[in-house]
Structure 1
Amino acid sequence: MTTSPQPPAPDVFAPAGIGPLQLRNRVIKAATYEGLSHRSLVTRDLLDFHVAYARGGVGMTTVAYCAVAREGRTDRHQIYWTDEAMPGLRRLTDAVHAEGAAVSAQIGHGGPVASPKANGAPALSPSKHFHATSLSWAQEASVADIRRITEAHAEAARRAVEAGFDAVEVHLGHNYLASSFLSPRVNHRTDAYGGSLENRARFAREIMKAVRDAVGGRIAVIAKMNMDDGVPGGFWLDEAIPVARWLEQDGTVDALEMTAGSSLLNPMYLFKGDAPLGEFADVMPQPIKLGVKAVGKRFLHSYPYRDAYLLEDARQIRAAVDLPMILLGGITGKPVMDLAMREGFEFVAMARALLREPDLINRLQKNADTPSLCIHCNKCMPTNFTGTRCVLTDRGTTRHASWGKPEGYVA
């Protein structure tokens, strides 16, 4: 008996589609909160940040994180979808398109990870929860809150279309609000949004349906969802697989990007490599600064780095659904990209390697042997408080979102 040869793996630098969207290649700049918006508006720094990746060769860059409601922000300067924000967002999308790339808006609600002090409103959670970083309690979201926030996702998606975005990436990970509902560790509700997996997934599915209904087929819809919260008793692969299948059956998603970790309970779980405790402490206000120095090792853990470190888990989702999938985590060079293509992933998402070298994709297309210079020190992570960047390429000038007039800012 003879077996037919396997078709060759796709070329990562060849064009590919996500729903109605056609990308010039299969490389996506992953969402990394930029810390470059100001008063919830686009700044020239934020525009230049994304233009650099577009000019550097990615197929699409992702603007993160665009909150669907004021109280859903994790930082007081974070963008949310107001009339005042729209002109700057349109200038940003136009600038990225001028470089030949597409641009996605990551939308979501911070939930228990949100900053109540900065937002002037309590953080929301599926159940009452104490957040050690903000030293405050998140209050239980009411059914009215759930309905309001679901509609806020739909309105954010409509505004993303209006602002010229090519896709929305709905944040269902990291124990932000939708993710915290999925987590049995955080969700202790006894109503229709708690208990069974079907109930805990109800909110995420309602959000995705509202987003799909809002955009129709005009732009692509991506879901970024946890596979593993990284904490005992949290959401894990055995539950992520059926939720991914339900999203596919619902017909609300054009592609899945699987992630891991909890910004609430284990923030370093996604970011394999060193935990830069000193750098985190330096950017924190008191008394949190003292807490990070004293007991930071208890919640900022270091995990060994390896290329494609989410592949083993993401492979389980890949086998369960037919949706296009985006592999995130440890994508550093052409060999890892080719591995992802051979494993059946249609796209790859890069973050830290591109922070180090925004033009890495252009150089990889010229020479596939080009090595990434990222050393996974993770010292880029605390810089989102002052403008996300690789500290190894910083020339001693600290950027901040308040420098320069915000694009679209109305005084």
Structure 2
Amino acid sequence: MALLFAIACGLSVANIYYAQPLLDTLAEDLQVAPSSIGVVITVTQLCYALGLLLLVPLGDLLNRRRLIVTQMLLSTAALAAVSFAPTFTVLLAGLAGAGLMAVVTQVLVAYAASLASPAERGRTVGLVTSGIVIGILLARTVAGLLTDWAGWRSVYQFSAVLMLILAGVMFRALPRQDVDKATLSYLQLLRSVLALYKQERILRVRAVLALLIFSAFSILWTSLVLPLSAPPYELSHTAIGAFGLAGVAGALGAVQAGGLADRGFGERTTGIALLLLLLSWLPLSWLDRSLTAVVIGIILLDLAVQAVHVTNQSLILRVRPEARSRLTAAYMVFYSIGSAAGSIASTTIYGYAGWSGVCLLGAAVSAAALLFWRLTLKPSQS
């Protein structure tokens, strides 16, 4: 069941990342100015953030099986609309819907934590969360390959079919009964998300860590395409997308972080991972000398980010069994803020200081994360 959840998470979250390597093709096909096509990414990410606040908490209120299947069916419809979009407006509307429904991944993470036994919860969350990171990284590779083979529309047609099949599988596989439901109205449910920040220190600390580590993650992955597509490398979109495979190797290596959290090593795992995150920027800074060094840096960075992310969720989802969907939503809002901030800062810095500036920025954010973790560590945990 955990493996099924991981696959479902990967396929769902990929829907908001397929467009990243396709922007030039979309602009040409739909006759949109290159300077305006970037709104595709902005709209998708904003709708994803909106879904985190408005839809993910529903997992504590409604039957999760019905909620998950409904979101997947609506995602199928949105992806189909994108694949047949005759105009840029229709494309944006479809991608907005796909971004909104992609938050089913976080409903699945909270649900997996609820189904797992306390002794296995961290390990289960680690496995399911690895599906998300792998989906993000492989989305670029899959989009590039399918576009080269059959055009950009085939990417969304392929994904729509997969989501429809997945909805059927989840309808049959998920338990029909649900437990630990909140007895709140929808508005009370949304207000309680904000209350969780005040009530749970572990949520506040781990949410800030999420903001910082995913800022570093976006700093790398947003700007990496720029030096790799420029001289002397001038790599194709497909070749650049293949670097995501190195990231997958790192993400898979961090699956056991949740198991370490189960055994009481959550803080130690966090500290080691944050140190690796900081060190990863050294080989990444050697891009002009060695692509092998870049691959090593990618593996280290994705291993570190995934390890901290899995540990974060493992620790947070222990505290309030009846509010796991709301805890996930509250945590992931900071993930979205960090991702957006890292993307904007990365491209801006690249324009002023090139790849070396990007690496200095990434190292500074990583150092801030390590320092914040150390300052918030209780004496009994150090």
TM-score category of the 2 structures, normalised to the smaller one: under 0.3
- Give the structure-2-normalised TM-score: 0.27
Q: Which has the larger strand fraction?
A: 1
- Give the structure-1-normalised TM-score: 0.26
The higher relative CO (CA closer than 8 Å, separation ≥ 6) is in 2
Q: Which has the larger helix fraction?
A: 2
